[in-house]
Amino acid sequence: MRRAVAAAVCLACVAWPSRAEIKVKILPDGSKMLYNEPGRGRNVSRSAVPAVLPGGTTYHELADRSAARHELDPLLVSAVIGVESAWNAEAVSIKGAIGLMQLMPETAKILQVDPWDPEGNVEGGSRYLRSLLDRFDGDLELALAGYNAGPLAVERYGGIPPYPETVAYVERVLRRYFGRDVYTVEAASAPLRGRSVRMSRDGNGRLVLTTSSGY
**Active site (catalytic) residues:** 84
> Closest by alpha carbon to 157, among 116, 182, 134, 185?
185
Polymer length in residues for the chain: 215
Distances (CA, A) of 191 to 112, 150, 214: 39, 22, 14
How many C-beta neighbours within 10 Å does residue 154 have?
26
> Closest by alpha carbon to 10, among 77, 60, 73?
73
What's the Rg (C-alpha) of the chain? 17
Pairing of strands 20-26, 32-38: antiparallel
